[in-house]
Structure 1
Amino acid sequence: MQPFAAKLRAVLITSLLLASVTAMAAGGYQVYRTDSAFEDVLDGLKAAIQERGMYINNVMDMGVMLERTGKDLGTPDPIYAKAQSVEFCSAVLSRAMLQEDPTRIVNCPFIISVYERHDERGITYLVHRTIPMEERTASPIMARIATTYEELAESAIAW
């Protein structure tokens, strides 16, 4: 009876997580929306990247930069309450991707952003580039990169 109760609990927890997360693709980007706290999603993203043996190059505070430059440009209205972009690298994925097609250098480093909109407090967004389906089907490495982006995003939100 115990294994059944554990499985039922896992199903219920998974259902609750999925109910609080919305993912949508728009214009070359995969956007995830959750009511999880910004800091939790950001920490989950960093942990997920490092757990997979990838290196975080930089965490850019996009919210602060945009607030500062907005004032300088005469457009002081805030866009984000918080916004950070995490750029990271996988030597294995990057090397294989670039050996297959050197023009894909534009994809390096990989970047996933986490933000909370100024006008929508309490909702955290996570966004990454999508790999077009035709590229995924034509290239096993691009399919793997697409899956990696998706797994990182899902791990971050479940953190």
Structure 2
Amino acid sequence: MKPAFLALALGMGLATQVAAEGAIVVPFDGSFDDATFSVESAIVDRGLVIDLVSKVGDMLNRTGADVGSDVTLFTNADIFVFCSAVVSREVMEADPMNIVHCPYGIAVVETPDGVSIIHRDYPDGPMQKVEDLLTDIVAEAVSN
């Protein structure tokens, strides 16, 4: 986990963890619906447009039997997909190949253990600006 994010999270009293290589997980104290509303509001309040809400949890639950699995991964799981013209231009002017990281996503997931908000841990360098944006959005969402 990036030291700046860890310091911010600890300073805000947030319990965070890296769930897997490249993912930052922040527990949400509330319902899945409250978390999705909070994430959506935090994105839109910055003047950003949500391009898509991907219903990944529904798809996984619907298709499990079709692929030979009876494992329920999530009770609910949505991913909010969006972009920032300002931040995207900045990171792509630094390196046009940063386009592979766009658009950005914040996932809200519910398991029997609770609700969490997840985003990618981007590489050091110019992409840190994107991670900072996502960190700020998640921090706002969990504080509401």
Normalising TM by the smaller chain, what interval?
Answer: 0.7 to 0.9
Is 2:138 the counterpart of 1:153?
A: yes
Letter in 2 for 1:155: E
Shift of 1:92: 1.1
Q: Which contiguous aligned blocks of 4+ residues in structure 1 show a shift greater than 2 angstroms?
A: none
Is 2:115 the counterpart of 1:124?
A: yes
Which of 93, 96, 99 lines up with 2:93 in the alignment? 99
Shift of 1:39: 1.0
Letter in 2 for 1:129: R
After TM superposition, list the pairs within 5 Å mapping 1:136-151 onto structure 2. Answer: 139=126, 142-151=127-136
Structure 2 Cα separation of the partners of residues 67 and 143 of structure 1: 34
Query: Which structure 2 residue ranges, 5 or more long, are not aligned?
Result: 1-11
Letter in 1 for 2:71: D
**Higher gyration radius (CA):** 1
Shift of 1:77: 2.1
| TM-score (norm: length of structure 1) | 0.77
Shift of 1:103: 1.3
1:22, 1:34 within 8 Å by CA — same for their partners in 2? no
| TM-score (norm: length of structure 2) | 0.84
**Root-mean-square deviation (CA), in Å?**
1.6
Greater helix share, structure number: 1
Identity of aligned residues (%): 32
Query: Which structure 1 residue ranges, 5 or more long, are not aligned?
Result: 1-16
Number of aligned residue pairs: 132
Deviations 1:23-70 (A, max 9, x none): 112411111113321111111111111111111000011111001221
Structure 2 Cα separation of the partners of residues 53 and 38 of structure 1: 23
Structure 2 Cα separation of the partners of residues 42 and 30 of structure 1: 17
What's the secondary structure of 1:58's corresponding residue? strand
Structure 2 Cα separation of the partners of residues 35 and 104 of structure 1: 33
Deviates more, 1:85-94 or 1:96-105: 96-105
